[in-house]
Structure 1
Amino acid sequence: MKKLLNQKSILLLLLLLGAVLGRAQQEPDSGQSVFQEFQDLDSAEERFLFFLETSDRYSENSIYDWLDEVNLYLRAAVQDDDAETIRKYQLIRACIYSDLGDYDKSQALAKDLHLDIDKFDMFFKSKLLELMDSNYGQLALYPKQVEVRNEIRELGITKEVIFYDIYANLGMYRRALDDYIEKVKRTIEENDFYAQAEYFNMLGNFLRLDESTPTALTNYKKAKGFITVFLNDATRTEDGAKQAEAILLNGLIDGNMGKCYVQLKQYEDAIPHLEGAISTIKEYGNGALTDELTENSLAISECYLQLEDYNKATNYLSDDLTTKTTENKIRKNRLLSIYYDKTADYENAARYLRKELRIRDSVSGNESELRLQQVATVMRQDLDISKEIVEKQKLDLAKSRAEMLAQERTSNLVLISFFFTLLGFAGLVYAYLKSIKNQRLIAEQKYIIETSLVEKDSLLKEIHHRVKNNLQMVSSLLSLQTRNTRSKAAIVALEEGKSRVKAMALIHQKLYQNEDLSVIEMQGYIESLINSVQSVYRKGGHNIEINIDAEDVELDIDRAIPFGLILNELVSNTFKYAFPEDDGHGKITIKIQKVEGREGYFEYSDNGIGLPDDTENLGDSSMGLRLMNRLANQLQTSLNIDRQVEGVRYWFNFR
């Protein structure tokens, strides 16, 4: 297989080389570099247009050579007090700083020019606003980016502007998908196979990021088919430059398909696609797709880690792997932690895990308040729509049940009629045919009901998923508020609130992951809840032994949520207060027993330092105790505290 891939690469390279040589024979070699051509131009206007229209300007001379040369021209223009020439070189300099990656410097220069935008011609305005749009996108200032695009539309530079890339950067992938389909689909001609490939590849990207992996993979396969057809056409027309772009797009599609297979845990299927993508990007990407190369390298290293081929994993998961984005840095540290854990190097595993956690903690602090408000608003709209759909489905289900009952009544009447018409042959035939007809109707209604029930389960899972996501958003907002609060008491209260929100979010997560949406298996839920609490209170590391006895205990959501919040309070208190010495002898025991037809029993205990002597007096003022007592009341019971044992013991019976 690898030999065939190498032969195909050689063939495509020869075709591209032939096209380039053909073009070289048609176009005379000037013998000058792009930089020299720029220097030899006579006027600022010519240099301005040449710079903006030249894409490979840094191929022979470094970006700093260009910056130094432009600064010389700019100083000369300042000495001549030529305002128009100054503006042109200032815009060129802003573009160079953007190419350098110094987006703040570039944007500062662009904003100074923007103050006089009314004085510029339409071409200058369009280039200035395009630069500002790009810089705001790189700086993740998406509200500002929206303002620039609205200004582009208002100035008439373009009839219609797009926002799907902004929606995607905000994590609103479904909104981005809808906007992309609306804006792009109607512009693609049916026989434009390259555009079709780009279109379905982009659809796949939005769906993959939205974790709709099977549907994303279907779109990538469509994109693969279109680009294959285009490559065959490009080979016949010998269009070398366009063919190189198509080969690169083919590699990107392969990488995206590989990432889908990784998400589906089909690691052996993912590896050939990822290897082909990495090879193509290195050959045809011209160093401009480092993020794609990094994502594919991280994905293939994850495949080899899961397949326990650690040597190949480390070939891709190297220290010199460029990780510009926060997501890639987090993923790289996570994979390194997994690698060292699998190779029993626990010290390095812990070190990279701590790096991952630090980066994750810093991410939430970088979110702007306006961005969070935009995301929350859209999610509320989506939730309202989902509620309307569920209500409609409930009405349809009720209607189907009523029709089923009506059909059953009709069937009973037919049977009675059939019994009384046995005296005559005609009556017998009529009743028989009627019965067959009604049975068919009943079968159709049964199918409709079963289909409605399946759709209802899917919608309920989607609702629980969205509720979990909304609760996570609330938790993120609380984290953001915590970082902006100086009061220690307020920070503690916000952290406790965030922990309680996570406990409720975990309930909804368990529900939509369950086949049975009516109950929650408590053993797994308690383990996940404790892991969540540990992530907050065990950063230093308490060596606490935790015993959970809740096997085969299932509770509905009305009882699971109070249980989860009570456990969250108890476990949090234990981690915070029960073991101040951290001597390694800490122990927590959780027991839930439930036998059908009998009263259930809950017990929580630890062997810590116990409760303070004035606990009973603090009962009315302690938020945690008041909350636990109210939650116990919801379970139609009362919380009992045993102080006679070592540590503390809580227990109660419930129905």
Structure 2
Amino acid sequence: MKKIVVLRFICVFLICTFSCVLVAQDSLSSQDEDYYKQFQDLENGELRSFFFFNTPNRYNQNSPYDWLDTVKVYLNSSEKTKDSTSIRNYQLIQAQIYYDLGNYEKSLAISRSVYDDMDALDKDVKQTILELMDGNYAMLQLYDKQIEIRRVKRELGFNENVAYYDIYASLGQYRKAMRDYMTEEKKELKDDDYYGHAIYNNTIGDYLRLDKSTPTALSYFKKAEGLIKVFLSDVTNQRTDKEIADGRVLNGIIIGNIGKCHVQLNEYEKAIPFLEESRDIIKKYNKSKFSSDLIENTLALAECYLKLDNYEKATDYLSNDLNPIKTDNILKRNRIYADYYYKTGDFKNSTAYLKKNIKIRDSIDAQASNIKNQQLTSVVTQDLEDSRKMMERQKAQLEESRKDIKARDDKISLVFISLIFTLMGFAGLVYAYLKSIKNQRLIAEQKFIIENALVEKDSLLKEIHHRVKNNLQMVSSLLSLQTKNTRSKAAIEALEEGKSRVKAMALIHQKLYQNDDLSVIEMQSYIESLINSIQSVYKKGGHNITITIDAEGVELDIDRAIPFGLILNELVSNSFKYAFPQDDGNGKIYIHLRKIAGQEGFFEYTDNGIGLPEDSEERANSSMGIRLMNRLANQLQTTLKTDKTTEGVRFWFNFK
């Protein structure tokens, strides 16, 4: 008996040692391989594309930016030779590199240009481009577009069904996401698929963690950790480099999720080893790729050390080149900074970070609820549509089954059995028909409720903007009354300027409730209305001045439109008051505004008046108008620049 125990111990020890040696050798070879050079040594775009997408740790020695520069050279060369196949392959590689860097808008732009030529692509390229677009739309929270891509994937045979559980989770419906995920994925898993079971348990644990069911989530994560360790230590099955790399990254994510559970349970000392180990694994095996898990784990570590009063460690992780993209991560980083400065007695910086979060939340609250409801409505509608189609398929299958039964009955020639099966088929059709009517009625009722809720919310929002506009007009009227009761010329001018500024803000809200889209303002018509309003104030000047407005097609949200309106109000008012003292009819004002999605905007204002006085810089410190414009420019995260020209003056700035 003792000999058997000793032999078993020796066997287990040898197996463990062998697997550890293999893992260590694989790790070293993976780190030492110069994939960048191997990629360059290949002959054409097709071979390079295959190598790139099948090399998991491709950024082990060279950063994604090095790869991007090289691919751009190859792409330019292919465009010169008009090699369409290589052009598509290099564009596909570019899109994946931008995705790895977290630049999802750029990745999506390139992916869509390739997607527009889908008919010319082979099956593997189609699948790759669709997966890329699916991921980009998910990260950019464009769920309606994501649903369209998944429908295309199903039509091309890449997926049997269209799943929505991850979209429900992104919209905060974690319980619904978990139920759908368990229904869809559990039936597809095989008993010996340790990697699949690890993903399954980690995903359910993540939904539970986000739903604040932390103890239950922790049990799922620990089960997932055990399964992925079995997968990585299994030397009996041959694994590809990509499968091993994916397994190690998943292992790091699971360990990080365990650490985040301990943070939720306020077990900070317990959480730190898990979070640090997770960071090391993800950085090693997901090298140079953007990772939300890496950012979340780093923020969680900073929070742990801050709670344990280890400020040095906390600031080390906070200053660890974090570049969060998700709004939740940005808010968490600001909150941790605020807590850190509060604990260290720097209340000014603490307040600044809290104000940043308030500003972000205000910006989100203005639109997020409506957008979230729209996205959720779109997903629910599509989900119900897919359920209806599934019912139709089941009905068709039932019909086919009835026909088979009838044919069999005809062959057997037993009238009694034939009658029974016919009645059963008829009963099945009636049941399916009644169920279909019930479901259609339910769909119609839910759609009616959702549409009414959306209409009511739009009406309330328009009413709010209308009331704000009316209140601002009342303020303007009060200023007019005060002007009539004031004899001081300086006071009258100040009240008129105040009235003009109030009108500029009221006009914003008037444009909003008159628009179908409550989130943006069309700037061309707004600027025209604003100019007319200012001309009505300065009746002496302004009517003989030629004003050119170039802002066609530019739309801005309210947070940027109000500062723009006030800046423009000050500039036009100054031109009317000071720039054209002779009022000889040759005055010209040019207003230019451009904003392209994903790029910096540009604003320019020029007039050909008498220009700025020699002491304009000294006056800028005492002039309320100049100081107001500078503060408004700060709100737009830019700086107002002034150029003295041969004729008049030019104001301009770039903005995000």
Q: TM-score, normalised by structure 2?
A: 0.50
- Provide the secondary structure at the position in 1 that maps to 2:159: coil
2:157 partner amino acid: G
User: In 2, are the aligned partners of 1:302 and 1:313 still within 8 Å (CA)?
Assistant: yes
Aligned counterpart, 1:234? 234
Q: 1:488 aligns with which of 463, 468, 471?
A: 468
Aligned counterpart, 1:286? 287
Aligned counterpart, 1:453? none
Q: C-alpha offsets along residues 28-52 of structure 1, whole Å, 9 cap, x if unaligned? A: x9x9943444444344433343333
Q: C-alpha offsets along residues 331-362 of structure 1, whole Å, 9 cap, x if unaligned? A: 12112222322333322221221122122223
Number of residue pairs matched by the alignment: 389
Aligned counterpart, 2:575? none
Aligned counterpart, 1:329? 330
Inter-partner Cα distance in structure 1 for 2:344 and 2:92: 53
Aligned counterpart, 1:158? 159
1:21 partner amino acid: Q
Inter-partner Cα distance in structure 2 for 1:73 and 1:313: 44
**Pairing of 1:139-538 with structure 2 (within 5 A):** 139-230=140-231, 233-234=233-234, 246=247, 248-288=249-289, 290-318=291-319, 320-365=321-366, 367=368, 369=370, 371-375=372-376, 481=461, 485=465, 488-489=468-469
User: In 1, are the aligned partners of 2:100 and 2:290 still within 8 Å (CA)?
Assistant: no
Inter-partner Cα distance in structure 1 for 2:271 and 2:27: 38
Inter-partner Cα distance in structure 2 for 1:237 and 1:124: 29
Structure-2 change in CA distance of 1:45 and 1:491 (3 Å): farther
Structure-2 change in CA distance of 1:489 and 1:212 (3 Å): farther
Aligned counterpart, 2:35? 34
Structure-2 change in CA distance of 1:92 and 1:176 (3 Å): same
**Shift of residue 330, structure 1, vs aligned partner:** 0.8
Structure-2 change in CA distance of 1:379 and 1:197 (3 Å): same
User: In 2, are the aligned partners of 1:142 and 1:371 still within 8 Å (CA)?
Assistant: no
Inter-partner Cα distance in structure 1 for 2:255 and 2:277: 7
**Shift of residue 79, structure 1, vs aligned partner:** 3.9
**Shift of residue 244, structure 1, vs aligned partner:** 6.5
**Shift of residue 229, structure 1, vs aligned partner:** 4.5
User: In 2, are the aligned partners of 1:197 and 1:223 still within 8 Å (CA)?
Assistant: yes
User: In 1, are the aligned partners of 2:256 and 2:297 still within 8 Å (CA)?
Assistant: yes
**Shift of residue 173, structure 1, vs aligned partner:** 1.4
Structure-2 change in CA distance of 1:316 and 1:235 (3 Å): farther
Structure-2 change in CA distance of 1:91 and 1:281 (3 Å): closer
Structure-2 change in CA distance of 1:289 and 1:91 (3 Å): closer
Q: C-alpha offsets along residues 516-552 of structure 1, whole Å, 9 cap, x if unaligned? A: xxxxxxxxxxxxxxxxxxxxxxxxxxxxxxxxxxxxx
Inter-partner Cα distance in structure 1 for 2:311 and 2:380: 41
- Provide the secondary structure at the position in 1 that maps to 2:234: helix
- Provide the secondary structure at the position in 2 that maps to 1:127: helix
Inter-partner Cα distance in structure 2 for 1:314 and 1:13: 40
Q: C-alpha offsets along residues 429-458 of structure 1, whole Å, 9 cap, x if unaligned? A: xxxxxxxxxxxxxxxxxxxxxxxxxxxxxx
Structure-2 change in CA distance of 1:36 and 1:378 (3 Å): closer
Structure 1: gaps (5+ residues): 1-10, 383-469, 493-655
Asked if residue 133 in structure 1 is aligned to residue 134 in structure 2, the reply is yes
**Shift of residue 261, structure 1, vs aligned partner:** 2.7
2:300 partner amino acid: A
**Shift of residue 14, structure 1, vs aligned partner:** 10
Aligned counterpart, 1:115? 116
User: In 2, are the aligned partners of 1:91 and 1:128 still within 8 Å (CA)?
Assistant: yes
Q: C-alpha offsets along residues 173-226 of structure 1, whole Å, 9 cap, x if unaligned? A: 122212221222122222333332222111010111122223222322322343
User: In 2, are the aligned partners of 1:207 and 1:215 still within 8 Å (CA)?
Assistant: yes
Structure-2 change in CA distance of 1:20 and 1:114 (3 Å): same
Aligned counterpart, 1:595? none
Aligned counterpart, 2:106? 105
Structure-2 change in CA distance of 1:381 and 1:108 (3 Å): closer
**Shift of residue 489, structure 1, vs aligned partner:** 3.5
- Provide the secondary structure at the position in 2 that maps to 1:162: coil
Inter-partner Cα distance in structure 1 for 2:28 and 2:299: 39
User: In 2, are the aligned partners of 1:278 and 1:293 still within 8 Å (CA)?
Assistant: yes
**Shift of residue 283, structure 1, vs aligned partner:** 4.7
Inter-partner Cα distance in structure 2 for 1:380 and 1:75: 44
1:261 partner amino acid: H
Inter-partner Cα distance in structure 1 for 2:163 and 2:381: 23
Percent identity of paired positions between Structure 1 and Structure 2: 43
User: In 2, are the aligned partners of 1:143 and 1:370 still within 8 Å (CA)?
Assistant: no
Inter-partner Cα distance in structure 2 for 1:51 and 1:351: 45
Structure-2 change in CA distance of 1:482 and 1:282 (3 Å): farther
Structure 2: gaps (5+ residues): 1-14, 384-449, 473-656
- Provide the secondary structure at the position in 2 that maps to 1:137: helix
Asked if residue 46 in structure 1 is aligned to residue 47 in structure 2, the reply is yes
For CA contacts below 8 A with separation 6 or more, give which structure has more relative contact order.
2
Q: C-alpha offsets along residues 94-131 of structure 1, whole Å, 9 cap, x if unaligned? A: 33444444433332333233333223332232222222
User: In 1, are the aligned partners of 2:256 and 2:278 still within 8 Å (CA)?
Assistant: yes
